[in-house]
């Protein structure tokens, strides 16, 4: 029976039920208006945002491993979806149209398939390749794009077309068309939410704004005075089945959009799940969560809605309300289902400016000014990475920003391995090691160089490694007799590096320099044997301790040469 209990709810205690239910109610109060706003980011009908909190949330709760991760509509993936579908350039394809809804559902299905493939290939580790700087930059860029996209809706003027700069220029040049009634609704929404956030942070100000301003709009007939409203909302249980109005060729059209969404879903969900699991001392199984996220997106595509993601903002809300498990999310799903079955007609009089106000503040919250400031103070080069990623997201496109974020992250990994910090190691009179940046002209002791290279040796950096060793030997103040390689930072050597190391040992032999190896681990020793490098190092020149290697240096004795290279 234990195997039938969802992983996210194993070890459940009855005492947690009341708190989980209350946390789920509080989450629903915030998440329902929030996902309605996300549906407008995605260009989807308002009710589809609510659908993301029903079947997708339930499937993740039953199949995922994370106890707190909230799955539903998310601003970042909604922005990717909107930008990607808009860039297809299909004649007559408009946000909210049946074709648009069908392509959004297809994107969710493909995202589910891609995530399933990632699980089968055990690619959950790829989430680790998106650095904190890249994620902060990406979410900041999404926040800027999301917030600025709401400005026309807040002003009651038409949205522009084209890239980000063209759209900003469009509303700036149409300020003479501002609808002040619309501005009033948008401004009231923002003020109400900010006041509650400041003075009653545990109470959902967005719910107060939605309920109060719907009542005002209905009582004053806002739609008859030029204020755009949501209009009739088709409620009822989410429609089940394949998205309609599609052709086989549509798969290739939206595949790149689905791939971009999948990369972000994997990275953001894994980062969020890890963060909250660490906070509470829980374990998290990313591969298991990939199963949950995959099926959640398949459920989204088959229930008339769009891609879903692990939401850091909604997960934070659940944690603040002291929710313990996915029972809280099942409670939210039940309340949302009640809304679409019974209360959806009440949404018809909601001014679009109210949704725009909610989304505008969500966008601003994604702009991580504190995170950017910390990176700038502590690591300027990573701040540049974050800034470039942010600019690419809002200035070029969200989809391109995702791909650039992955590329930058991978480039940063290679860059660090290519140019690691390396040192010449010395020893104080007290026997403590000292580390100086490895530069030609310095030595550990007369005739002794202890060199530490802090990276695996592979085809891209072995040339630099060999050149550095040659320069240290050639420019040493005294003729070098021992070169000790501190191998504690070298975990592996690829074939190209192995070939180059043979040449380096030949060079040391011609200079009558003894090659000594300190602190190699077992895996490195086995690799050296495969490349026939180990056979060239006498056993007495291998030390498990760096201090022992330095003390063994025969100061004042005759120079010792490294082993001869094998024949051939």
With tokens 């298991």, the residue in question is 288
Sequence-separated (6 or more) residues with CB below 8 Å from residue 102: 243, 244, 245, 246, 250
Which contacts qualify for 208-211: CB closer than 8 Å, 24 or more apart? 209/33, 209/354, 209/357, 209/358, 210/33, 210/350, 210/354, 210/358
Helix, strand and coil content of the chain, in percent to the nearest 5, comes to 65, 5, 30
- Nearest residue to 357 via CA among 185, 175, 140, 145: 185
The conformational region for residue 441 under phi > 0 = left, psi -120 to 50 = alpha, else beta, is left
pLDDT of residue 422: 86
* Distance from C-alpha of 106 to C-alpha of 173, rounded to nearest angstrom: 37
* Distance from C-alpha of 393 to C-alpha of 389, rounded to nearest angstrom: 6
Strands 422-427 and 309-311: unpaired
Helix (H) or strand (E) holding 449: strand 448-453
Domains of the chain: residue spans and CATH: 14-142+228-414 (no CATH), 422-551 (3.30.750.24)
pLDDT of residue 556: 47
- Exposed, middle or buried by CB within 10 Å (0-12, 13-18, 19+), for 98? exposed
Could you state, in chain order, the average pLDDT of each consecutive group of 10 residues for the chain (568 residues)? 63 80 83 84 91 96 89 88 86 87 96 94 72 79 84 89 85 92 95 90 80 92 87 84 90 92 84 70 80 96 95 76 84 93 84 86 84 91 87 78 74 80 81 83 92 89 92 94 92 91 94 94 92 93 90 63 39
Beta bridge partners of 506: none
Sequence-separated (6 or more) residues with CB below 8 Å from residue 427: 433, 434, 444, 445, 547, 550
* Distance from C-alpha of 378 to C-alpha of 393, rounded to nearest angstrom: 24
- Nearest residue to 217 via CA among 231, 206, 204: 231
């Amino acid at each position: 029976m234990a195997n039938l209990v969802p992983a996210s709810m194993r070890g459940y205690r009855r005492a947690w039920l009341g708190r989980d239910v209350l946390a789920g109610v509080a989450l629903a109060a915030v998440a329902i208006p929030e996902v309605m706003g996300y549906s407008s980011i995605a260009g989807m009908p308002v009710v589809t945002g609510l659908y993301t909190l029903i079947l997708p949330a339930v499937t993740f709760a039953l199949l995922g491993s994370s106890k707190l991760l909230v799955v539903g509509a998310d601003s970042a993936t909604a922005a990717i979806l909107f930008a990607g579908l808009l860039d297809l350039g299909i004649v007559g394809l408009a946000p909210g149209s049946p074709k648009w809804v069908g392509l959004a559902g297809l994107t969710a299905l493909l995202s589910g398939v891609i995530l399933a493939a990632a699980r089968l290939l055990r690619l959950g580790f790829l989430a680790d390749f998106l650095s904190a700087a890249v994620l902060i930059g990406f979410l900041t860029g999404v926040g800027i794009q999301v917030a600025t996209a709401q400005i026309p809706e807040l002003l009651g003027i038409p949205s522009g077309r084209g890239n980000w700069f063209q759209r900003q220029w469009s509303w700036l040049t149409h300020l003479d068309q501002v609808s002040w009634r619309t501005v009033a609704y948008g401004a009231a929404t923002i003020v109400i939410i900010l006041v509650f956030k400041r003075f009653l942070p545990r109470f959902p100000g967005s719910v107060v704004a939605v309920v109060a301003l719907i009542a005002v709009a209905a009582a004053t007939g806002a739609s008859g005075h030029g204020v755009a409203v949501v209009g009739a909302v088709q409620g009822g249980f989410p429609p089940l089945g394949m998205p309609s109005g599609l052709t086989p060729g549509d798969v290739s059209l939206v595949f790149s959009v689905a791939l971009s969404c999948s990369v972000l879903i994997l990275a953001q969900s894994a980062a969020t799940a890890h963060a909250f699991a660490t906070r509470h001392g829980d374990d998290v199984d990313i591969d298991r969560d990939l199963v949950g996220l995959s099926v959640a997106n398949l459920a989204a595509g088959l229930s008339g809605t769009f891609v879903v993601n692990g939401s850091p903002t909604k997960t934070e809300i659940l944690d603040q309300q002291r929710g313990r498990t996915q029972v809280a999310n099942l409670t939210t799903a039940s309340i949302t289902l009640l809304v679409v079955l019974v209360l959806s007609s009440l949404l018809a009089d909601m001014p679009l400016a109210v949704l725009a106000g909610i989304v505008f503040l969500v966008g601003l919250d994604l702009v991580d000014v504190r995170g950017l400031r910390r990176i700038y103070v502590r690591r300027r080069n990573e701040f540049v990475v974050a800034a470039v990623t942010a600019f690419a997201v809002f200035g070029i496109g969200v989809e391109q920003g995702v791909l650039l974020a992955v590329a930058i992250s991978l480039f940063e990994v290679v860059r660090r391995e290519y140019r690691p910090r390396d040192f010449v190691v010395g020893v104080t009179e007290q026997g403590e090691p000292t580390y100086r940046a490895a530069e030609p002209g310095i030595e550990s002791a007369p005739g002794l160089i202890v060199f530490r290279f802090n990276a695996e040796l592979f085809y891209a950096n072995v040339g630099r490694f060999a050149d550095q060793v040659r320069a240290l030997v050639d420019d040493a103040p005294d003729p070098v007799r021992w070169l000790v390689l501190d191998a504690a930072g070298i975990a592996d050597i690829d074939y190209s590096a192995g070939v180059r190391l043979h040449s380096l040992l030949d060079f040391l032999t011609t200079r009558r320099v003894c090659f000594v190896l300190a602190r190699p681990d077992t895996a490195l020793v086995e690799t050296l044997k495969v490349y026939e490098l180990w056979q060239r190092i006498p056993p007495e020149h291998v030390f498990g301790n760096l201090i022992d290697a330095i003390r063994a240096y025969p100061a004042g004795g005759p120079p010792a040469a490294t082993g001869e290279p094998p024949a051939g």
